[in-house]
Amino acid sequence: MPASLKLGAMTAASGLAGHELIKGHGTENDFLLLIDPERDVPVTATDIAAACDRRAGIGADGFVRVVRTRSLPGAQAFHEAVPEAEWFMDYYNADGSVAEMCGNASRLFAAVLDAEGLCPMTDGDSITIGTRGGARTITRVGDLWTVDMGSARLTHPDGALADVEDEGWDTVVIVPGLEGERAALSISMPNPHTVVALGEEGELDAATFAGLTDSGAPVVYEPVPQAGTNLELVVPLGQEVDAVTGDRVGRARLRVLERGVGETRSCGTGCCAAAVALHVWEGEGAPEDYRLLVPGGEVGVHVGAAPLAEGSTVLLTGPATVTGRVTIA
């Protein structure tokens, strides 16, 4: 691991002054983590946005406070219901806004708990953590980590333009760089996602996103997502046969525009939403496993035979890498 760095004081991040942040990523979806077991550090949304700023701060797609569940305000009922979840992933987007869940951050969260000796894990060990999306179980699989992402569900947005059960879509999206309107499917993981299938990789490369606020050339949604959304543009790449299991595996390439962040190199919940959408669109006999190629690498998603059925869960597998430490002066 690189040696710790000392970063000069960021005026807007005074709440973090004197504290060490751990930097890491999951398929280049990068995060800053603050080890704060008893929630002693008075971090604000402004502090988080300043630290995540890639020009004036350290830079990251999101911020995680590593905190004991019992120390997090409002989590008492959850702590009593899921006592095995000692640790809570207190997650925020790069703009300081609260987010329900992040699959890539979950893998890094477990890796940091292990590296810091807070919850040592060997191959095959699992840990249950708390998130705003509910309890999540993470298992170490060699050098990789598998997260039980919970259930996927169709959002059924108010004002949907089509019957999703009949048509396979409910929303129309206009993406800068692409011609015309595109049909999309709204999925909750439990954070909101809008998935658009494209016909070729050239279209995927042609799409243009305007950064954090997406204000330069905004993506247009009809109906407008009431709580915002994450946009996935996905190109199916056919299927392959797993050399070990012999099972069919779907392949796809995608890009993600994350709510409160901008375009990221990877998005765990976005990959899960894209895999579920591909399974829904293919219908009966669709693969139960998918390999998703993102700008930051590759992740695996297991959706099972019926990902939208009651009690079903989606599994996300990928790497997690700790890259260094920074102390805010």
Per-residue pLDDT of 73-87, as tens digits, reads: 999 999 999 999 999
Q: What is the DSSP letter of 16?
A: G
> pLDDT grade, residue 7 (50/70/90)?
low
Looking at the predicted structure, is the pLDDT value of residue 170 above 60? yes
Q: Which domains does the chain have, with CATH numbers?
A: 5-150+320-328 (3.10.310.10), 153-313 (3.10.310.10)
Q: Mean pLDDT, to the nearest integer, of 169-185?
A: 95
Catalytic residue, candidates 52, 102, 271, 272: 102
Q: For all residues of the chain together, what is the average pLDDT?
A: 93
Match 């108010």 to its residue by tokens. 158
Q: What is the pTM of this model?
A: 0.93
According to DSSP, the residues that pair with 147 across neighbouring strands are 138, 316
Query: Is 102 a residue of the active site?
Result: yes
Token output for 306: 């019926």
State the catalytic residue, choosing from 52, 119, 267, 272: 267
Token pair recorded at residue 299: 């992740």
Give strand ranges (E) for the chain.
5-7, 20-26, 29-35, 62-68, 87-93, 126-131, 134-141, 144-148, 153-154, 171-174, 182-188, 192-197, 220-222, 230-241, 248-258, 262-264, 289-294, 297-302, 315-318, 321-328
User: Is residue 267 flagged as an active site residue?
Assistant: yes
